[in-house]
Structure 1
Amino acid sequence: MLYKDFFTNITNLLHQVVEEEDENIIQAANIIKESIKNDGVLHVFGCGHSQMYAMELFYRAGGLVPVNAILSPPLSLAPSAPLSTFSERQEGLAKVILDGENVQQQDVMLIVSTSGRNAVPIEMAIEAKKKGLQIIALTSLSFSKEVESRYKNGEKLYQLADIVLDNHGEPGDAIMETPGLKSKFGSTSSIIGFTILQSIVVQVIENLAKDGVEPPIYVSSNLDKGDQINKRFIEKYRNRITCL
C-alpha cells in the first residue's frame, strides 16, 4: 500500500531534518528566546497554504503567547485561491501589510515560503530588515534553487534570511509516484514544516526556563483554568498582536 511508503518517506525526512537542521533550529530558538526576554514578538508570515504556519503557532494551547500571525486576506485561500496566487506575486504589497502591524526592533520575523521565489515573501523580508528585525526563513532549498525569482532584483527568500530552515522538500513539494501517472503527489512541506516550527517552540520554552524566565505559554481554553490564565496574556499582548 502506497500510503505506508508515504509514512516511510516522511519519517526519513524528519530524521534528515534532525541531523541537518540541528544548528539552524538551535540558532532560531536562541534568537526568539532573546526577543521574548526583551519583550519582543515573533511575527509569522506566509502566503496561501503557508498562512497555515502562522495559524499553527498563534493562540495555540501549549504554545508561545508572543506570536503574531500576519494573515492578510488577499493572500488567503478564501474566498479565492487564484487571487491568493496572483497577490503573492505583487510587488509593493508586503510593505503595506507590514506597515499595518505593530513591529518593534526587538521582534523576530519568520517567513514561510516553500519555493521562496514570489515577490511578497521576498519583499516582506526586505521590509522587516529595514525595521531592524532578524529574519528566519522556512523554505525548501532544493525547490528554491531550481526556479527563478519572481522579484525584480532576482533575489530569493533564503538569500535574505539570517537563519534558513530547510524543509528538505523536493521541487514541486510532492514526493510520491505511481505507474501510469506523470505528476507526483503527496506533499511534504506542511508536515515537516509544522514539526520544525513546533520543535523550535519547545526549544525556546526550555531556553527561557533555563535562563530563569517564566515562558509565556497558552493553556487550553477547554481546561477549567485556561480562560483565567489566557486572559492575563491577552491583556498584556493585545496591543502587539493583531488578531487579539
Structure 2
Amino acid sequence: MSSSPTLSYLEACRQMVETVAAQEAAMQQAAALFAATILTGRMVHVFGSGHSRMMVEEMWPRYGSYPGWNPLVELSLSFHNLVVGANGQRQAMFLENVSGLAEQILRNFDLKPTDSALIISSSGCSLVPVELAEIFQSRGIPVVAIVSKVHAEASASKRSDGKKLMDFAEIVLDTGAPIGDAIVQIPGMEMKVAPGSTVGGAMLVNCMKAETAKLLTEAGKPPLALAGAVAVGSARSVEIFQAAYDEHAHRLARLFESVGGNDGTGGRPA
C-alpha cells in the first residue's frame, strides 16, 4: 500500500534530520566562528534572498534568539505576498540575479575581519548571495553557507566563471532537501509538492544558534535570549526584550562607524 502524502513528507523530514545530525562537527565549527565574532562586540551577517529569508528571521529576532546577528533582509528580493503587480515576484526573481547589487547592499556597512557571515541559498547559484559571499571573503570575513547540496550541484551557476556559493564559503552545510526542493509526488500531478529546504534550514540555523550560545556562555558571556511572558513572567519578558534590542542597536551602531572611510567622516568632505 502506498504511503499517504503526509507520511511521505514526514519520512523525508526524518531523513533530513539524519542529514543535519551528520553535520554536527561542521555546525560546531561554524558556531566557533560566530561566537568569536559576537565576543568581540561585532555581528554575524545573515543573508537569504527569496524564501531563504525565512532562515534569516529564524536566527533573529524571535523567541529563543539573542543579539549578535545582523539580519540582511532586502525586501526587493523577498517581498512575495503581492505575487504580481508592483513589488511582485517576477521583479524579486530578476533582482536576485543582478550583478553588483550585493556590493550596494554591503556598501552600507563598515565591515571588519572580525565579522563572520551566514548565507542561505538553496540552489547556491543566484548572483546576489554568491557575490555577497565573494565580497565577504575578499574582506577576510569567513563565510558559512547553507545550500541543498544535490539541488545546488545540479543547478547551473548564473556566473560566467561557473562559480557557486559553495566556492566562496569556508563551511558548507546541507539542508538535505532533494533536487527541485519539493518532496511529495501526487499521482496524476506533473510536479511534486511540499518543499523541504525550509525544514532542513531551520534545523541547521537553530542547531548553530544553540551551539553558539553554549560557547558564549562558556566564555562567561551568556547571551540574552528573548523569552515570552508565559515562560519568564511579564515583567522579566519586557526587561529582556528591551535589553536585547538595546544591545542589538549598540552592536549595529558599530557597523556604521566608518562607513565610506576610516576617518569617521564616511567619505564626506571635512
TM-score by length of 2: 0.84
Note if 1:180 corresponds to 2:183: no
Amino acid at match of 1:55: E
Structure 1 residues 56-65 or 156-165, which shifts more? 56-65
Note if 1:2 corresponds to 2:5: yes
Alignment partner, residue 63 of structure 1: 65
Question: Secondary structure of 1:225's partner?
Answer: helix
| Among 151, 161, 176, the residue aligned to 1:168 | 176
**Per-residue deviation, residues 129-149 of structure 1 (Å, max 9, x unmatched):** 222211010001211111210
Q: Which runs of 5+ in 1 are unaligned?
A: none
| Residues 141 and 166, structure 1, Cα contact 8 Å, conserved in 2 | yes
Alignment partner, residue 16 of structure 1: 19
TM-score by length of 1: 0.92
| CA spacing shift, 1:240–1:221, aligned 2, 3 Å | farther
Alignment partner, residue 132 of structure 2: 124
| Residues 144 and 172, structure 2, Cα contact 8 Å, conserved in 1 | yes
**In structure 2, what is the Cα distance between the partners aligned to 1:77 and 1:48?**
8
**In structure 2, what is the Cα distance between the partners aligned to 1:159 and 1:15?**
25
**In structure 2, what is the Cα distance between the partners aligned to 1:80 and 1:11?**
34
**In structure 2, what is the Cα distance between the partners aligned to 1:221 and 1:105?**
38
**In structure 2, what is the Cα distance between the partners aligned to 1:206 and 1:111?**
22
**In structure 2, what is the Cα distance between the partners aligned to 1:64 and 1:34?**
15
Structure 1 residues 145-154 or 221-230, which shifts more? 221-230
Q: Give the Å deviation of 1:50.
A: 0.8
Question: Secondary structure of 1:45's partner?
Answer: strand
**In structure 2, what is the Cα distance between the partners aligned to 1:146 and 1:60?**
34
Question: Secondary structure of 2:172's partner?
Answer: strand
| CA spacing shift, 1:69–1:219, aligned 2, 3 Å | same
Alignment partner, residue 257 of structure 2: none
| Residues 67 and 241, structure 1, Cα contact 8 Å, conserved in 2 | no
Alignment partner, residue 236 of structure 1: 247
Map 1:81-120 to 2 at 5 A.
Answer: 81-120=89-128
Amino acid at match of 1:77: F
Q: Give the Å deviation of 1:51.
A: 1.1
**In structure 2, what is the Cα distance between the partners aligned to 1:213 and 1:239?**
16
**In structure 1, what is the Cα distance between the partners aligned to 2:12 and 2:74?**
33
**In structure 2, what is the Cα distance between the partners aligned to 1:81 and 1:221?**
37
| Residues 62 and 220, structure 1, Cα contact 8 Å, conserved in 2 | no
Count, aligned residues: 241
Alignment partner, residue 216 of structure 1: 224
Query: Percentage identity across aligned positions?
Result: 26
Q: Which runs of 5+ in 2 are unaligned?
A: 81-86, 254-270
Note if 1:225 corresponds to 2:227: no
Amino acid at match of 1:12: Q
| CA spacing shift, 1:221–1:60, aligned 2, 3 Å | farther
Amino acid at match of 2:179: P
Alignment partner, residue 34 of structure 2: 32
**Per-residue deviation, residues 151-200 of structure 1 (Å, max 9, x unmatched):** 23210001110110111211110111122222111100001101110011
Structure 1 residues 222-231 or 23-32, which shifts more? 222-231
**In structure 1, what is the Cα distance between the partners aligned to 2:126 and 2:244?**
35
Q: Give the Å deviation of 1:22.
A: 1.7
Q: Give the Å deviation of 1:221.
A: 6.6
Structure 1 residues 94-103 or 82-91, which shifts more? 94-103
